[in-house]
Amino acid sequence: MENYNNFRIFNLGEPTKISPIHLSKTKGDNIFNFIDDKDRILADIQLNNFTSSLENGILPDSYERAGPRENVFFEGKNTTAAIVTCGGLCPGINNVIRSLVMNLHYFYKVKRVIGIPYGYEGLNPECGHDFIELTPEKVKNIHEFGGTILGSSRGGQDVSVMVDTLVANNIDILFTIGGDGTLKGANAIGTEIINRGLKIVVAGIPKTIDNDIDIIDKSFGFETSFDVACPIVRDAHNEANGAYNGMAIVKLMGRDSGFIAASTALSMPVVNFVLVPEMDFELEGANGFLENLKKRLLSKKHAVIVVAEGAGQHLFNAESNEVDASGNIQHKDIGLLLQQKIKAYFDSINMKTTIKYIDPSYIIRSAPANANDSLYCNHLAYHAVHGAMAGKTNFVVGSVNNTFVYLPITDVTKKRKKIDMEGGFWFGTLQSTGQPFSMK
């Protein structure tokens, strides 16, 4: 039962160098202790499942705890690290970049940190993007701004070419900041490196504003997203409440998962309907959305509707779906469709209404991180550096059950995290909005 085969992190080799961070191995001396690779965190914290595993002689699933190791693989003075940011913008990217640079420089004395411009394009010389030298002086204030100082792009490049670029520039560690597609690309790069027998680490820091990375508690930028969305929804409520039978539709990000929309409704409880990709609803019919919306207007004379961008795609005529450079399906605009359908419905029953449609998505994702996200970004970056310097590769750092752990990239990219429609989070959302459990 001591053979940890599940969620095992790959190491480039035996870490034989003493860590330059002077920590402790003694409990009670008021100094943080080094983390041992055998320190693991239970994946499932339910007692009945843990007991069942023990009764059946099966080692429960567990994750390797993140943190500084006593022995490291790389010696800072001989190490070059690189950072790349990919995909859409998200609050907190600059915070992560800053913390990576500061930790590498001040704690591990890494000689050089470079920024890869414009996502994976920057690892393809044919794209003509020059590397950016990242120093503590250059990054010291970037956390105050949204976006990414490195630029970003969607889509991958030839894996072999990208690895060749890493080798040609003597890069020892590559930190990839991005979502599902970025992490899959990082795993492909890391696998090619392993197959070539090279000693280059690839470490992933999960970035998706939609909070749809599997297993981990949350991804950075997510909290800021609904923090910024809340005053927008508050003002939308004021707009709706200021007109007879006034309605405000606010579309928020959430391609496949509705966490932002639902969290916004829970945080700003003036929302009357939340529509998310995970739910199957109908517009027409006795229990459809439009009938429930009419009941709301007859009772309260106004309504606020929050809709995730990926909700209600079944309402569009079946067409061949286009995809973006990352392979994501380009969803149709559900906000505009709702506005049109709502207007047509109430016009058909001669009911006077006023409808406002608001889409603040690109403003939200470009905002700087709030205090909680800034804190979270710092922790993610620090733990990513500790793991990378120890020679761990093809891993993602994240918080699971409020503890930071290292996870194989392949495990977090198997599927996207979605709202559990029978879970307490969605039940809380329904309690906040007062909408029916089903609108079918």
Known catalytic residues are: 210
Structure tokens at 284: 């027409």
Residue 356: Cβ-neighbour burial (10 angstroms; 0-12, 13-18, 19+): middle
Half-sphere exposure for 90 (CA within 13 Å, toward CB): 32
Residue 212: Cβ-neighbour burial (10 angstroms; 0-12, 13-18, 19+): buried
Residue 142 annotated as binding site:
no
Q: Where are the alpha helices (DSSP H) in 132-177?
A: 136-139, 159-168
The count of other CB atoms within 10 Å of the CB of residue 264 is 26
Residue 253 annotated as binding site:
yes
Residue 364 annotated as binding site:
yes
334-348 and 289-300 helices, crossing angle to 10°? 70
Residues in the chain: 440
| Strand ranges inside 77-222, DSSP E | 80-85, 112-116, 132-133, 173-178, 201-206
Residue 29 annotated as binding site:
no
> Alpha-carbon distance 390 to 234, whole Å?
47
Residue 309 annotated as binding site:
yes
CA triplet 132, 137, 142: central angle to 5 degrees?
75
Please, which residues have CB within 8 angstroms of residue 363's CB and are 6 or more apart in sequence? Answer: 228
> Alpha-carbon distance 234 to 54, whole Å?
50
Residue 179 annotated as binding site:
yes
Residue 122 annotated as binding site:
no
Residue 118 annotated as binding site:
no
Residue 208 annotated as binding site:
yes
> Alpha-carbon distance 412 to 416, whole Å?
8
Residue 335 annotated as binding site:
no
Distance separating the N- and C-terminal Cα atoms of the chain: 49
Residue 180 annotated as binding site:
yes
> Alpha-carbon distance 66 to 205, whole Å?
13
Residue 439 annotated as binding site:
no
Structure tokens at 210: 């939609």
> Alpha-carbon distance 91 to 151, whole Å?
14
Residue 155 annotated as binding site:
yes
| Strand ranges inside 137-252, DSSP E | 173-178, 201-206, 246-252
Residue 305 annotated as binding site:
no
Give residue for tokens 């906000």.
335
> Alpha-carbon distance 79 to 192, whole Å?
20
Residue 4 annotated as binding site:
no
* Residues of each annotated binding site for substrate: 208-210, 253-255, 309, 362-365
Query: Could you tell me which residues are annotated as the binding site for Mg(2+)?
Result: 180
Binding-site positions = 88, 154-155, 179-182, 208-210, 253-255, 309, 362-365
